[in-house]
Amino acid sequence: MKYISILGSTGSIGVQALDVCGNLGLAINALTANRNIQRLEEQVRRCYSVMAADQCPRYAVTADPELYHELKTALADLPVQVQAGMEAICEAAALPENDIVLNAVVGIAGLRPTLSALEAGKDLALANKESLVTGGDLVLSTARENNVHILPVDSEHSAIFQCIQGLSSPDEVEKILLTASGGPFYGKKQADLEKVTVQQALKHPNWSMGAKITIDSATLMNKGLELIEACHLFGKRPEDIEIVVQRESVIHSMVLCRDGAILAQMGAPDMRVPIQYALTWPRRAPLKTPPVSFRELGKLTFGEADEETFLCLKACKRAFDLGGLYPCIANGANEAAVTAFLQGKIPFLEIGETVCGAVDSLRPDGEGNSLSEILEADSAAREYAAKRFSGKS
């Protein structure tokens, strides 16, 4: 029996991952959440109601220590060990019984659990792109040292990964064509975005996701983060990756081969597909997802990403070119800015301006070869953002 720990089980990816695990008959070793302990309790109870006892979670963890006693009380009637705090999440990632760990934690908070899983010799299904954005070299070296696999869960990176599986060598890839939906504001200019509301930015045209990643999609920061992630995963430079807006989100990404052939991975916008492929690789298992009807679809449309309007994408490219800790700076500034926007403290366009300002202004120490350096750079970026937002409402 294959055992899995799901980090971030109450978010969009985690919820769908549990559905996939039920389809595959995987055993759930541990479930972790940030603060949504009501949903976490429901997930644990659901497992115990439909799964065999030896397949049910043995650990339930909340990131917030202040919620420990509430969660402990809620699950007191079940044989589950309740824990709290970041150290406990890292322990869940490194449990000896784990065969694979799915990291769906949001933001740089997922970096430490990523390292814990890899250091424990566990294969990692990675939905936390910030792990590679902020600590790419450290994460990859840790995976190599422990001879484990990092399997991408993001739909775009999974698509690229799937396309490469059909080649005799990754060296046959000339260029990566990284697709983007364009988000809710595709085709808009900065003047059109000055009064964007939170509700408007959260209306993604194709995908149902958490608030943070949905805002990142609206600013194209998500595509900038994915560009950096793709560089690390597939050993490419930004100039080897072309971002193509594919509005229907049917082509999830493509690779241009050195003989001119283009391979594409296509399908309905359903995250269960890349989640399941990461958990079953190198095999494919049955999954009841509706296939794309090209007769009904009629056409596929393409366009370019507008870096002059959506400054986050430009900032991410510059951060990767600068190297070292600059991608961490970009990510930290963005996380702070998105939080401020969701709280109504700053306007939408301030997000991109903040990310650009942090990358241009800060001079981080070190190259990002240690966790302490990465966390210090992240803190500096957040401090920069906080000072920038001071007095704004």
Per-residue pLDDT tens digits for 288-340? 988 899 999 999 999 999 999 999 999 999 999 999 999 999 999 999 999 99
Residue 318 to residues 21, 233, 327, 329, Cα–Cα distance (Å): 39, 19, 9, 11
| Each residue's pLDDT tens digit, 294-307 | 999 999 999 999 99
Helix (H) or strand (E) holding 124: strand 123-126
pLDDT band at 205 (very low <50, low <70, confident <90, very high): confident
Residue 235 to residues 55, 120, 230, Cα–Cα distance (Å): 37, 24, 8
Instruction: Assess whether pLDDT exceeds 60 at residue 393.
Output: no
Residues 6+ apart with CB under 8 A from 69: none
Give phi and psi for 220, each to the nearest 5.
Answer: 70, 10
What pLDDT score does 392 carry? 60
Contact of 292 with 250, CB cutoff 8 Å:
yes
What pLDDT score does 117 carry? 98
What pLDDT score does 204 carry? 78
Residues 6+ apart with CB under 8 A from 391: none
| Residue extents of the structural domains in the chain | 3-152
Closest CA to 354 of 363, 346, 364: 346
d(CA 369, CA 171): 27
Helix (H) or strand (E) holding 178: strand 173-180
Farthest CA pair distance, the chain: 61
Contact of 63 with 89, CB cutoff 8 Å:
yes
CATH class for the region spanning 3-152:
alpha beta
- 160: its two tokens: 């690229």
What pLDDT score does 153 carry? 98
| Each residue's pLDDT tens digit, 33-76 | 999 999 999 999 999 999 999 999 999 999 999 999 999 999 99
- 340: its two tokens: 């401020």
